[in-house]
Each structure stands twice: as C-alpha cells, then as structure tokens.
Amino acid sequence: MRLFYGWVIVGAGVVITCIGLGTIFALSVFLQPISGAMGWSRTGISTAALLNFLAMGAGSFLWGALSDRFGTRAVVLCGGLLLGVGLMAASQTGSLVQFQIAFGAVAGLAAGSFYAPLTATATRWFTRHRSLAVALVTAGTGIGSMTVAPLARWLITSYEWRTAMLVIGVLAWVVILPVAFLLRDPPIGSSAGGKTQAGGDDRGFTVAQALRTPQFAAIALTFFACCAAHSGPIFHMVSYAIDCGVGAMTATVVFGTAGLAALCGRVVFGLVGDRFGAKRTMLIGLTIQAVAIYLYVLVRAPASFYALSLVFGLAYGGVMPLYAILVREYFGARIMGTVFGAVAMASTLGMAIGPWAGGWLFDRFGSYSWLYVASFAVGLGAVAVASTFRAPRSLLAAPPAPSVA
C-alpha cells in the first residue's frame, strides 16, 4: 500500500517544530544558570523571551506570507539557518543586551518560520483528518519540551550554559536543514488518494477582507489571551518548582511532563475536534487550562507538580492546533499561510508578555503567586472571547463541500 505523502509532511513537521521551537522554550532551563553565572536579573533574561516572541510574531506573519508565495520548504530552510546563527551567537555574548538581541530578536525571527507555515501546509494536505494532522505537527513543540529541555539541563550540568546553547544551535542545523527538503505543497487539483482538496474550498476572501472580519479578530484575540495565560507559567515552571523546594532535575522533568502531556493533548483534542467541532473542543480546553493555572498557587510537593502539570499540559497543548482549524474552516486554503501567520503573530505577542510579566512580578514581590492569579484571570478572558466565534457570512452561505477523505 502506497504511503500518502501528507503523512510524510506531518512527520517532517513534527521533527522541525520539535527542534525549532523546543530550543526556544528551553530558555526556561537556562534561566537560573545564566542568572547565576552572569549576574543578570530574571527580568532581564525574561526580556530576551519577550523579544523572542515579539520577533517570532512578526516573523510568523512575514514567513506565512512568504510561504504562500514561495513555498514552505524555502521558508523553513531560511529559518533553520537563521536559528542556528542566533543560538550560537547567543552562546558567545558578553552582555545582557547582546544576549537579548541574539536569542530574542534573531532566534525569535527564525522560529517564526516554523509554526505558521508548517501548520498551513498540513491543512492543505488533509480534509477528513485535518485536525489530527495539524495536532501532530504542533505536537512537535511538546516533544521539544520533553527532549530539548532535559538535553539542555544535562549539557549545563556537564559543561556550562554557553556550551549547552552552542550545541543546541548546531543541533538545529543538523536536524532542521535536511528534513526541510522533504516539504512540498500538495498537487493542485489532485485528490491525492481522496485525502486532499487543494484549493477546492476557497471561501472567496482576500487577505485584506479576512483581516477585517470580526471572526479574525475573535480568533486572534482568543489566541493572544490563551498564550498570555499559559506562557508565564510554562516559562517560569522550573524556577517556581525549585523555589518550592523541588530539585533542579526533578523540576526539569516536571517541565518535560507538561510537554509530554501537551503532546498527548494535541492528539486527543485533534481527534475530538474532528468529531465534535473545533470551537466546542476549544472552549472545554481553555476552561481546563484556566483552572489548572490557578491550582499552581496551591501545590508544593513534587507529586502535586507532576499531577497538575499533566492536566495543564493536556489543556494548553490540546487547544493549540484548533486555531489553525478555525482559520482554515472560516477563510479557506488559498490565503491560509498569511491569515494564520497573522493569527500566530497575535499569539506570540501573548507568549511574549507572560515570561516578562512573571520575571517582573517575581523581582517585585519575591514570589510567583501573582503570576498565577493574573494568568488565571487572562485565561478566563480567553474562554469569554472564544464563546463569541461565529462563522463568516460567506461561509454560512456556501454550499456544502464535497465529501472526501
């Protein structure tokens, strides 16, 4: 039986997002070692994360538009090259500002080339299993948290933070660049074994029209609030657990546990979303996420951290691929890269705020408690905005799509 090439695209996407985004989220493991070695404040290092996500957001829109024009392969190759440069430069910096530019601006811009273009490509290859395919591609982020973060901790323990970051930068080149050559767009007008529908469900929107719709605003604002809610708790999870008396390696494993749960959540929520709809599934996931964030205020023992991280990871990981499904269903495939790049840009603005706010609140109050309370409130806001989703008028008026796999 011939393998449908869409699953090759999914496999490549998993590997690329694992390394490409896993290296970015590994900064949480570097937080305390860099602060101790260089004497930089947590706020200063967290600012690198803020710049990273701001650059990633701008990059998501830019790279998404470029992928619509030049293809995902070219975009990912350029991003992979730039990511390695940024990480290796960050490992050799001598000042906080240099580190913020190298890791924050350069590596962040590079990371924007992975999520939106790869997700958009996955949606073009699939119809029936679209939610699952997107979930698997985005699951690479969870795998990255589960693998790159422990690798970084081991390298830091065995050597020091500079060597660890240099090795991870080289790893980005070694893995991402060869795998990127597997990427390609689906054949136009081909059913590809009944599984794709390239260009067959265009909703008639131009990019300008799509970006002015209230549906785009609702999706983007929900994604922003969702990421603003969970980014701080994720980034400061290792430091918070250590502050609560958990050992450094155990705290890193707790972080990896959340990443593993996020991986499972993407698959589970992807399957559920295929069956019951993306909006309904998203509302459930966002509610669980908000409650789990608040419960972090109450935990202290390692077992409690493990259990809560499983629930938290399942929720925040599960909702992530659903935004791409909503964009695809509402606005069609033709402008998917650009529109989802704009939505992803909003999400990365949220991702930028959380780590910085967490560092500022810790330096200001000597505790992470206010971070979790504020994140809980923002998470509830995401639930409220998500409940306002409505299909665009042109989609409501469109005839049913032909039944394909």
Q: How far apart are CA 346 and CA 58, in angstroms?
A: 9
Q: Terminal CA-to-CA distance of the chain, rounded, Å? A: 17
Q: What is the pLDDT of residue 343?
A: 84
Instruction: Catalogue all structural domains in the chain, each as residue range(s) with its CATH number.
Output: 5-185+203-393 (1.20.1250.20)
DSSP helix/strand/coil, 56:
helix
For 263, the token pair is 């991986």
Q: Are 116 and 340 in contact (CB under 8 A)?
A: yes
Q: Are 122 and 9 in contact (CB under 8 A)?
A: yes
Q: Which pTM does this prediction carry?
A: 0.67
Q: Where are the alpha helices (H) located in 71-114, listed in sequence order?
A: 72-91, 96-99, 107-111
- The answer to which of 191-200, 252-261, 329-338 has the lowest mean pLDDT is 191-200
* 76-134 per-position pLDDT tens digit: 999 999 999 999 999 998 899 999 999 989 998 998 888 778 888 887 887 777 777 87
DSSP helix/strand/coil, 156:
helix
For 282, the token pair is 């998203």
Q: Are 31 and 42 in contact (CB under 8 A)?
A: yes
Q: Which residues contact 111 (CB under 8 A, 6 or more apart)?
A: 20, 21, 23, 24, 52, 56, 59, 79, 83
Residue recorded with tokens 């679209």:
130
For 387, the token pair is 């409940």
Q: What is the pLDDT of residue 200?
A: 46
- Average confidence score pLDDT of the chain: 82
Residue 171's Cβ-side half-sphere holds a number of Cα atoms within 13 Å equal to 21
Q: Measure Cα distances from 264 to 31, 84, 139 in Å.
A: 26, 28, 8
What count of other Cβ atoms lies within 10 Å of the Cβ of residue 362?
22
**Hey, which of 39-53, 204-218, 250-264, 275-289 has the most confident mean pLDDT?**
275-289
Average pLDDT (175-190) is 82
Average pLDDT (157-165) is 90
3-state per-residue secondary structure call for 200-269: CCCCCCCHHHHHCCHHHHHHHHHHHHHHHHHHHHHHCHHHHHHHCCCCHHHHHHHHHHHHHHHHHHHHHH
CA-nearest of 354, 358, 352, 336 to 55 is 352
Q: How far apart are CA 157 and CA 266, in angstroms?
A: 31
Q: Which H or E element spans position 312?
A: helix 302-331
**In this predicted model, which residue has the larger pLDDT, 49 or 86?**
86
Q: Which residues contact 362 (CB under 8 A, 6 or more apart)?
A: 42, 43, 236, 239, 368, 371
- The answer to which of 17-21, 162-166, 276-280 has the lowest mean pLDDT is 276-280
For 345, the token pair is 């840009």
Q: Let me know the angle formed at the C-alpha of 382 by 348 and 337, rounded to the nearest 5 degrees.
A: 40
For 107, the token pair is 């590596």
Q: How far apart are CA 319 and CA 30, in angstroms?
A: 27
Q: Measure Cα distances from 151 to 19, 29, 46, 102, 168 in Å.
A: 12, 10, 21, 21, 9
